Amino acid sequence: MHEKYMRMAIEEAKKGEGFTSPNPLVGAVIVKDDRVIGIGYHKKYGENHAEINAFLNAKENGEDVEGASIYVTLEPCSHYGKTPPCADAIIKNKLKKVIIGCVDSNPKVAGNGIKKLKDAGIEVIVNVLEEECRKLNEVFFYYIANKRPFVVMKYAMTMDGKIATVSGKSKWITSEKTREHSHRFRNKYSAIMVGINTVIEDNPMLNCRLPNTRNPIRIILDSSLKISLDSNICKTSKEIKTFIATVSGDEKKIKELEGLGVEIIKTESDNGRVNLKELMKILGEEKNIDSVYVEGGASLHASLLKEKLVNKALVYIAPKIFGGFEAKSPIGGEGIDEPDNAIRLVGNSITKIEDDLFLEYYLKY
């Protein structure tokens, strides 16, 4: 019974994807006499938390929550932030039982919410569907622990491992439905990252065109500031927050870009390239970016993997064969000498999307 209602809370929490950062995704379900009387989720950073929205929903339904149980995917907060503590609201509304998916590792909470509820005489059950609830907020938990963005590398390839033909053409490898599926991750993660070659070759917007979504922050790696001031990125930088990471000292170009609304991030040179470790530190600690979705090419992927910065890989495979020694594969760089030195992928999930396959893995260095 507990798992049934917790699954409902998890699905409710997912509705907040893309809008709660740096807060976690949270869903809540209020149950009384085996009936769901209220349901809610954290809709947007700075607004009501899931528990409060569930109480409001119960009130709209004309229900009395006293003596009810609440299922919540994450430990209720016990501190004042943008909103008052949810633990206090639960106590005030005289609920008898709180069922929690997982404990909040944020030092401001970290068991304090549970203690406050127990001290008020409320029964607390913890770690119901814990694994699913932790995965729901893998970005939040990683960012709290490391103060560095959770990095997701995405690419689409043919069955023979090619991301383009010998002539460099890549539109399209996967189906339209698959491309729409991948597009939603632009909404899910806080920022999107590409290299300058992608900008020069494709002149992309790097926005999210799906309904009821938001645009990710755009991060362009451009060591020498080759980007054209007439590019779609530059022309829309006042509407969509844009960072360009560089090692260039071209002050004239920097001023021109800043005039268009671009924010420049300068790092130390790493053999003439942007220092990726330093960049991630800046993004996490100074820019408060908790996740980065990488839609780069083979070189950027290889550089991130070399620095052990990728946390998760999302791979789409189409039932096609391109062939050709010169056709690009998803990962460039120098490669490895021995199979035993390969980067390991763990925690696999495989989904079929029409004729394509979607693979989801975590990287183990």
Q: Is 298 known to sit in a ligand binding site?
A: yes
The annotation status of 134 as a binding-site residue, yes or no, is no
**295 labeled part of a ligand binding site:** yes
170 labeled binding residue: yes
Burial letters for 17-29: b for 16+ Cβ neighbours within 10 Å, e otherwise? bbbbbebbbbbbb
Spatial separation of the C-alpha atoms in residues 363 and 365, rounded to whole Å: 6
Give the distance between the most distant pair of CA atoms in the chain.
Answer: 69
Beta strands (DSSP E) in the chain are 27-32, 35-41, 69-74, 97-102, 123-126, 150-158, 191-195, 217-221, 242-246, 263-266, 269-270, 273-274, 291-294, 312-318, 344-353, 356-364
342 is in an annotated binding site: no
Looking up tokens 């096609």 gives 320
Q: For the residues of 67-100, what is the DSSP string, one character each?
A: T-EEEEEEPPP-S-SSS--HHHHHHHTT-SEEEE
Residues with catalytic roles: 51
357 labelled binding-site residue: no
Determine if residue 67 is labeled as part of a ligand binding site: no
Please check if 102 is assigned to a binding site.
no
| Residue 49, marked binder | yes
Q: Annotation-wise, does 2 bind a ligand? A: no
Q: Is 21 annotated as a binding residue?
A: no
Taking the mean position of all CA atoms in its chain, how far away is CA 78? 25
What amino acid is encoded at 284 in this protein? Answer: G
**Residue 79, annotated ligand binder?**
no
Evaluate whether 292 touches 190 at the Cβ level (below 8 Å): yes
Give the annotated binding-site residues for NADP(+).
156, 172, 198, 202, 223, 297-303
Give the annotated binding-site residues.
49, 77, 86, 156, 170, 172, 186, 198, 202, 206, 209, 223, 295, 297-303
Give the annotated binding-site residues for substrate.
170, 186, 206, 209, 295
Give the annotated binding-site residues for Zn(2+).
49, 77, 86
